[in-house]
Each structure stands twice: as structure tokens, then as C-alpha cells.
Structure 1
């Protein structure tokens, strides 16, 4: 798929001049599993969007433990390490699988946002979607039981249970790997696991 088609189909952009200028700036890159796209504390110099594969955002807690913060698995999803563009990254982002990403230089894109209202609206849409996801995760953490949190994860992130390690899923859901294993065993014994995890 051409970059022009990506901007139209994935991001819904229609301004031909804007698409042409973004095409000149954009670069599609393949990254290997384990590659670190952003490191917590660094100021990103580019914007990254997932085209294919799986990415994970994470941070270190006070004890130095790796805590999964988010997953990107849908084509077009922004690999955003900070809310306000140009600020230091609040999380690190790594590729959990060999992935394909679209990269755009931060400075020129910020300039284009001033010039093209359609691009600024797209940025606003990304922020609103990120806020929605944030509150969904927060509600799950504080309002659901451990079992309900895992069931919510299976619904909200279909298929990821087969691609993401138990360690990362457990930290994302605020539980230990032992607890996660117990939940999966309980669901298996109740005959619920296969259907919930989408196994054949």
C-alpha cells in the first residue's frame, strides 16, 4: 500500500496537498522484535504509527519492576510515548514482534498542524481515543475483580493472549503471574478458556 493510500484509509485524510507533504516526510520502517522505539525520559524526535505487528508501552515502578502500560496492535495506532508532542516520553515503547511502522519527523509535523486544521483534528481524535482507553483501563483496575479484569482483557485485546507473555499481561492487569495462571486454570476447568481466548 502506498503512503498516500495509508494516509487516506488509515487516518481519513482528504486534503491532497497535506497528503502529498506528509508522503514526502514519511518513512516506512521494519523493526525487529525487542527493538526499543522510545525510551522513557527521552524527547521523541519523530511520530510513529503501527502498520503491522505488536508494540508494548511500559514503565518502571518505584521498585524497578517492568509494568506494561499499553499495547498497540491495530494498524494506524499511534505509538505515543507522551501526551503533548515534543515533551519527554513518559513510557518506553518496544516491539513485541517483528513490526512495520510509519515514522514522521516531529518538527515538520508540528508545523503542518498549524497550517492544516484537518491534521490538528486528527491529533485531537488520537488524544480523545487515548483518554478513552486510559479511563477504560483505570475503571477495570479499580472496579473489576481479577477474573473480570482478565475477561475484559480478552474482550478488549482479542488474540493478544497468544502473542503477549503472561508476565506482561499480568503486570498490565495489576496482578501477579501466579494469579493470572490461577484464573486461566479456573476458566479452563469451567470450560470457558477456549472460547474466551479464541482457541480452535
Structure 2
């Protein structure tokens, strides 16, 4: 994988000095399905960008109940546990499928942000993209009925319905697995 091209295309970094540092500091790693990349409340040592696969952000409680907050599935999409680098993650992030990730050490990125002002703009753009994504999710969850939310999911999250746990999709769409199953059946019957 060409890390230089990745950082140039995904983060819009064009300064050769910064590109060289990012390439030197970063690693491309593969995580098996179910592996936690980020654990809520624990120190996050790295920043993660998806190359291939699907990640899931979620909350969990000690009784084992989980609520899916987001899916990371687009090439180059960041997996953030918190919008602030100086705070512990607010959510867990785990590999929903076997996934390939570009990983950067968080402390090194924080130091580079202090040394290179242009990286602050890069980070701001990344945050804006992520916040817009989450705003769209909130709109769909709060403003659409169950059928519309499922339709929205099929449109916005192409092919994920057959690649991730339906229990996690139902949680993400704020519906029960039974409701999701009924909607899937309805949609299949309409297609026939």
C-alpha cells in the first residue's frame, strides 16, 4: 500500500516533510473480526484510518447491553473514540469484519500538530467530516420512521446489511431486531 498517496488523498496533506513523517510513523495493520481498536475510557494510543473492512463504534454497559453508534466502512474514514485527542474515548471501536487499518501514534500526531499549523486545518477538516456524518445519522434516527430509517440505511450504507450483524444494524437504527427482520421481509417481497 502506498501510504504517501493515502495521506495525500485522504487527509489532503501535500507538504513533503509532513508526508514523510506520517509515512515513517504509520503502520498498516490487519485486525481480526471482534478485535477492539479503541476501548471507552481507556487511553487511546493510536489514530486509525480504514483501508478495508468495517469497524463499529458502540457503547456498552457492564450487563452486556450494547448500542451501535456508527459504522466505519469507507476507504480512509477515521475511527475516532473522541473528537478531542486529549480526552479518553467516549465509545468503543471494534472490527466488525477483518479489517486493514493505517495506524498513527497519537502522541506523535499531537506533537506534529504543534509543529505544523497546516495540520491543524487537516485535523479540523477531518473533524468536520466526522461531525457532518454523525449529524446525518442523528437526523435519520430522530426524524425518520422505522421504514424510512431502514431505507436510508440501505442507501447510505450500501451492501452493509449483508456484511454486518443484523442485531448491530437494528441497534444503530434504533429499532428491535424483530422490527428490522419484518422490514427486511417487506422489502424482499416488494422486490419480487
Range into which the TM-score falls when normalised by the shorter chain = over 0.9
Aligned to 2:104: 104
Aligned to 2:176: 176
Structure 2: runs of 5 or more not aligned: none
What is the number of residues matched between the two proteins? Answer: 192
Aligned to 1:92: 92
CA distance in 1, matches of 2:175, 2:87: 30
Per-residue CA distance 1:36-57 (angstroms, 9 max, x = gap): 1111111201111111111111
CA distance in 1, matches of 2:26, 2:189: 50
Give the CA deviation at 1:118. Answer: 2.5
Give the CA deviation at 1:62. Answer: 8.7
Give the CA deviation at 1:63. Answer: 6.4
Give the CA deviation at 1:111. Answer: 1.2
Aligned to 1:195: none
Deviating 4+ runs (over 3 angstroms) = 61-64
CA distance in 1, matches of 2:49, 2:2: 15
Contact conserved, 1:7 with 1:19, CA < 8 A, in 2? yes
Give the CA deviation at 1:88. Answer: 0.9
CA distance in 1, matches of 2:133, 2:61: 21
**What root-mean-square deviation, in Å, do the aligned CA atoms of Structure 1 and Structure 2 show?**
1.5
Per-residue CA distance 1:56-107 (angstroms, 9 max, x = gap): 1110259641111111111111110111013111111111111111111111
Aligned to 2:7: 7
TM-score computed with the length of structure 2 as normaliser: 0.95
TM-score computed with the length of structure 1 as normaliser: 0.91
Give the CA deviation at 1:117. Answer: 2.5
Does residue 34 (structure 1) correspond to residue 37 (structure 2)? The answer is no
Aligned to 2:53: 53
CA distance in 1, matches of 2:62, 2:155: 30
Aligned to 2:127: 127
Contact conserved, 1:43 with 1:86, CA < 8 A, in 2? no
Contact conserved, 2:97 with 2:164, CA < 8 A, in 1? no
1:161-172 to structure 2, matched below 5 A, reads 161-172=161-172
Structure 1: runs of 5 or more not aligned: 193-200
